[in-house]
Amino acid sequence: MSQFYNLTQIKEVLKKLQPIKDIEEGFVAYSEGKTRIPPVGEMIFEKPPGDVHIKYGYIVDDDYYVIKIASGFFESPDSNRYTSDGLLLLFKKGTGELVCALLDECHLTNVRTAAAGAVAARYLAPKHIDCVGIVGAGTQGRMQLEFLESIIDCRDVMVWGMNQKELDEYLKYMEPSDYNIRTTLRTEDIADGCNFIVTATPSKTPLLPADLIRKGTHITAMGSDTPEKKELDPRILQKADIVVADSISQCLLRGEIHHALKAGVLKKEGIVELGNVIVNPKLQRTSEEQTTIADLTGVAVQDLQIAKAVYHALVDKNKSQAT
C-alpha cells in the first residue's frame, strides 16, 4: 500500500536534503525540453474567496509523475486571514500506482519556491549587495532569506510589511538568524535602499515604484502566480537588462511578465528562461550595471523534484530504521 507522510515526517528528512540543487536540475531539464508540463489547472472560488492550483507533469526519462495541489483561501471576502494547504502526489509511470502522498500543508511548495529564489540569485544577483530588500513579511518572506544564506554574502536586510505587527513577528521569528534586519512600512525605502530585492506578496497592484529602483539591482518577483496578481510596475521590466522567466510558456499567461507583455512594454523575444540561464554564462549577469528581473510563477518540475527528493529520503530512513 502507498505511503502517506505528514508534515512532521517531511520536515524531519528535509534537513538532510539539498533542495536548491534539486530545483536547479529541474529547471535545466525543463528548459532543455526534457519535461512534459501541461498548463496549470485552476479552480477559483468566490464564497469564501480562494483558489486551488493543480500543477502536474513529468521528466521524460524518469520513473515518476507528480500532481501537486495547493489551495489558498481567505476566511471571508474582507479578511486578510489566509489559509494555505495542499499535498503532493507522486505516481509511478507505466502503472499509475500512487508511490506516496506528501501531506505537506503547503510547506514543500514554500521550500521549492524559496529554493528557486536562491537559484535565481546565484546567477543574477550583483556581486556586491548593499542591502537585501524583502517585500512581504509572510512565510515566503522569511524562507527566502533562509535559502539565500548559502548563496549571497550580504547580511543587511530591510523588510517591508503591511503593518507593524506583522513586521514585529517577522523580526522575532528571524532573531536567531545571522541577518541584521530593519523594517519599514514604505516600499520606497526598499526600492531606494536595496540592490537585491525579493517580492513575496499576493498583491494585485504594483508595490515598487519603477523610478526609485537603482541601476544594477536584481529583483526576484515570486508572489504573482496568477493572471491577476502583480507586484511590479511593468516599467521595471521595461527598463531591465535581463528578464528571466522560470517558464516562458507559463509567464505568458501569469505573473509579472504577462502584465508587461500586455502593457506592450516587453517583447516575448526579450525573455530568457531560468534553465537556460543556469547552463549558459552568457545569459547570466555579466556586470554590476545590469538590472535583472526573475519572474517566478512556480513550475510543476519544481514540485516533481522536491517530491522525489523527499520520497527517496523517507524510503532511506524507513530502511535504516528497519535494519
Residues with a known catalytic role: 68
Cell numbers linked to 257: 511578465
Which residue from 10, 13, 20, 67 is in contact with a second copy, where contact means CB under 8 A?
67
Of 56-64, 112-120, 168-176, 215-223, the window that binds a second copy (rule: CB under 8 A) is 56-64
Beta bridge partners of 272: 244
What nine digits make up the cell of 9? 515526517
Span between the terminal Cα atoms of the chain, in Å: 21
Give the nearer residue to a second copy in terms of CB position, either 42 or 168. Answer: 42
Q: Which residues contact 126 (CB under 8 A, 6 or more apart)?
A: 195, 196, 216, 217, 218, 285, 288
The contact pattern for a second copy, residues 36-55, with x = CB under 8 A and - = no contact, is x-x--xxxxx--x-x-x-x-
Q: Is 93 in the site for a second copy (CB under 8 A)?
A: yes
Q: For residue 242, what are the β-bridge partners?
A: 292
By the rule CB under 8 A, 10 interacts with a second copy: no
Count of residues engaged in binding a second copy, rule: CB under 8 A: 40
With beta carbons less than 8 A apart as the criterion, state whether 201 and 224 touch: no
**What is the smallest separation between the CB atom of 94 and a second copy, expressed in angstroms?**
4
Among 88, 99, 100, 101, indicate the residue that binds a second copy (CB under 8 A): 101
Helix (H) or strand (E) holding 259: helix 255-262
Partners of 293 in the β-ladder: 219, 243
191: nearest Cα among 143, 235, 138: 235
Contact call for residue 311 and a second copy (CB under 8 A): no
Which spans of this chain sit near a second copy (rule: CB under 8 A)?
1-2, 4, 6, 36, 38, 41-45, 48, 50, 52, 54, 56-58, 65, 67, 69, 71-73, 75, 83-87, 89, 91, 93-98, 101, 103
